[in-house]
Structure 1
Amino acid sequence: MAAAQGYRAVITGAGGGIGAAIARALAPRAAALVLVGRRAEPLAALAAGLGVPCRIVCGDLLDDRTLVEIEAAARAAGGIDLLVNNAGVSDFHAFETQSPAQIRAMLDTNLLAPMLLTRRLIPLLKEAQAAQIVNIGSVFGMLGFPGFAAYGASKAGLAGFSQALRRELSDTSVAVRHFAPRATRTPINSTAVDAMNRELRTAEDSPEAVAAAFMDFLGTRAWQRTLGGQERFFVLVNKLLPGLPDGAIRKQLAVIRKHLPT
């Protein structure tokens, strides 16, 4: 829940897509925002329209200097009570021909980077009367899908990290939560993914719809939310009877392979 004065939040991957949409949705209920991304220009444009004090940090989340700068910005904002680990990358590709560099990039950006930033900011979050860490995952972290083996592994790791850290911090003022969107219309999707989703008739959300669901999630006590009724059903079936999703996805392989980059 927000403090009476509003959230003081750090949002990574705020330069566009879901991150920018969350910043816009959060701004009316925020006292201060720290917007983190790789490029200053979109962050500055976003900050200019939010109507709330913003600090901008540009850099690589795997670089300790960036983490130091984020912590300093958060302290300068008067502390924080919300960390949104949203920054992420994807690469739709057959795993056997995917480049090692792309595999490392997804694991580093989607899993290692939020872990390192969280570790850095936990002491500051503990200074708030009540604080939250929200890790932005993916339905593919709970429902493996061809062409997203490495991406799904990184997001599954983030879900596991969220659960373990939630339990580790359960006797503190810091709640750790996991929010998993389904397919979303953002620049992270390649043209091949867009074409595949159209052919498979995959339901997609806008970043604004995801941000609205995120704000609703903040107002609950649930530790995890997966977007999409059908997606939640398949995630549950995947846990209880994984052979059923195996068969259903096997029937889609010809379409998936048609769109996989060569």
Structure 2
Amino acid sequence: MKISECRAVITGASGGIGQALVSALLAEGAQLLLVGRHSAALQALAQTHSGNVAIVAADIRQTSGREDVLAAAQRFGGINTLINAAGVNHFGLLEQHEESAIAELIELNVTATLQLTHRLLPLLRQQGRALVVNLGSTFGSIGYPGFTAYCASKFALRGFSEALRRELADTPMKVIYFAPRATRTSMNSSAVVSMNDQLKVSMDDPHTVAAQLLATLRREDEERYLGWPEQLFVRLNSLLPRVVDQALRKQLPIILRFARNKA
């Protein structure tokens, strides 16, 4: 898709990758409807980027919030792209999490994303050729200690992307699964950054991720994984998971130390 022809709904627009993506898309002439829970953050983002941008403050976990997004998209004149970028992450051992925190993570990362996509599909179909872009993660292909709930949500999102792509195979619509590796945003706490530094895990700048996402949109790649050796590990984990088990077992003492003392 030509970026200048893109009329996109972006959830999680005020997040780290979301903000970088908004800047990159608007710079190339896209028209954007920004979605998030916090009106002030969205308004500040819109003021920073005057032009082809509208906002809707809505909690997509709620039926009323999804209806607000649909109504805003209709007022926007229709959309041909949905970018599901909203999500949360919790670093820590599974036993450390509150049950409510696990439920909230799955609700936003998985349930609300599926429900919003379901709600907007008829509007996307009206455009003929359209894209659904799901922002995944390397952890949607590699189960990683300290991120069990987050991995579960991204594994689910990857499966959703694959199934929906096949479901829409006889239509002009395409589904893209875009999987960054670790990124320097507020989603990753200082403990995660320190742990990654010690493990020599590279972390990308969100603007680098946004540039790669634009390239993926232009080519309409069905799947895109960022980073090396992360791309290798994704492939290796699908073919020889026990090899990855052994590699991560060596990292486990460091991961446990940071997870147990993350505060």
TM-score class, shorter-chain normalisation, is over 0.9
Q: In structure 2, give the amino acid aligned to 1:89.
A: V
User: How many Å apart are 1:31 and its aligned residue?
Assistant: 4.6
- The aligned residue for residue 90 of structure 1 is 89
Partner SS state of residue 7, structure 2: strand
Q: Distance in 1 between matches of 2:42 and 2:59?
A: 15
User: Distance between the aligned counterparts of 1:49 and 1:59, measured in 2?
Assistant: 20
Name the counterpart of 1:251.
250
Residue 6 of structure 2 corresponds to residue 13 of structure 1? no
Number of residue pairs the alignment of both structures matches: 261
The yes-or-no answer on 1:218 pairing with 2:234 is no
- Per-residue deviation, 1:59: 2.4
User: CA shift at 1:191, angstroms?
Assistant: 1.8
Query: 1:37-52 alignment to 2 at 5 Å?
Result: 37-52=36-51
Asked if 1:146 corresponds to 2:174, the answer is no
The answer to whether the 8 Å contact 2:58/2:68 transfers is no
User: 1:64 maps to which residue?
Assistant: 63
Partner amino acid for 1:2?
K
Work out the CA distance in 2 between the residues paired with 1:141 and 1:221: 20
Look up the equivalent residue of 1:123 and give its one-letter code.
P
2:229 maps to what in 1?
A: 230
Output the amino acid matched with 1:121.
L
- Deviation by residue 1:115-163 (Cα, 9 ceiling, x = unmatched): 0000000000001131100000010110110001110000000000000
Q: Is 2:176–2:220's contact at 8 Å kept on the other side of the alignment?
A: no
Paired amino acid for 1:117: L
- Equivalent-residue separation in structure 1 for 2:226 and 2:210 (angstroms): 11
Which position in structure 1 is the counterpart of 2:2? 2
Aligned: 1:117 with 2:116 = yes
SS in 1 for 2:56: strand
In structure 2, what is the Cα distance between the partners aligned to 1:32 and 1:76?
A: 13
5+ long unaligned stretches in structure 1: none
Read off the aligned partner of 2:144 and give its amino acid letter: F
Segments ≥4 residues shifted beyond 3 Å: none
Equivalent in the alignment of 1:34: 33
* Residue 155 of structure 1: aligned partner: 154
Point out the more displaced range, 92-101 or 231-240: 92-101
Deviation at 1:51, TM superposition (A): 3.4
The Cα shift of 1:6 comes to 2.2
CA deviations 1:178-234 (Å, max 9, x no partner) are: 000000000011121111111111101011000000001111132000100210100
* Residue aligning to 1:173: 172
Letter of the structure 2 residue corresponding to residue 77 of structure 1: F
Tell me the SS of whatever aligns to 2:204. Answer: coil
Output the CA distance in 2 between the equivalents of 1:29 and 1:82.
Answer: 15
SS of the residue corresponding to residue 229 of structure 2 reads: helix
What is the distance in 2 between the residues matched to 1:38 and 1:19?
Answer: 13
Distance 1:6 1:51 in 2: 18
Q: Which runs of 5+ in 2 are unaligned?
A: none
Q: Report the TM-score when normalising by structure 2.
A: 0.96
Equivalent position SS for 2:185: coil
Superposed displacement of residue 96, structure 1: 2.3
3-state SS in 2 of match to 1:229: coil
Name the SS of the counterpart of 2:71 in structure 1: helix
Contact 2:26/2:52 (CA < 8 Å) preserved in 1? no
Stretch moving more, 28-37 or 211-220:
28-37
User: Who is 2:135 aligned against?
Assistant: 136
Match for residue 54 of structure 2? Answer: 55
Query: Which deviates the most, 196-205 or 93-102?
Result: 93-102
